[in-house]
Amino acid sequence: MNNKKSQNPKQNVKLVLGTNNVHKLNEFRSILKRLILENYSESDLSVLDFIGTASDFEISDIPETALTFEDNSKLKAEAVFEKSNLPTLADDSGLIVDILGNAPGILSARWSGAHTDNDDNMNLLLAQMKDIPFEGRSAHFLCCMTLICPSVEPSSEKPSSREAQMKVAVGKCYGYLNDARLGAGGFGYDPIFMPNAYFGNYQSSPSGGRSFADLPDSFKNVHSHRAKATEQLFDKIYKILSE
Active-site positions read: 92
Q: Is the dihedral of CA 153, 157, 162, 165 positive or negative?
A: positive
In sequence order, the 6+-apart residues with CB closer than 8 A to the CB of 58 are: none
Biggest alpha carbon–alpha carbon distance for the chain: 60
Q: Characterize 39-72 residue by residue with b for buried, 16 or more Cβ atoms within 10 angstroms of its Cβ, and e for exposed.
A: eeeeebeebeebbbbbebbebeebebeeeebbbb
Helices (H), ranges, 94-137: 118-128
Contacts 24+ apart (CB under 8 A), 21-26: 23/187, 23/188, 24/91, 24/226, 25/53
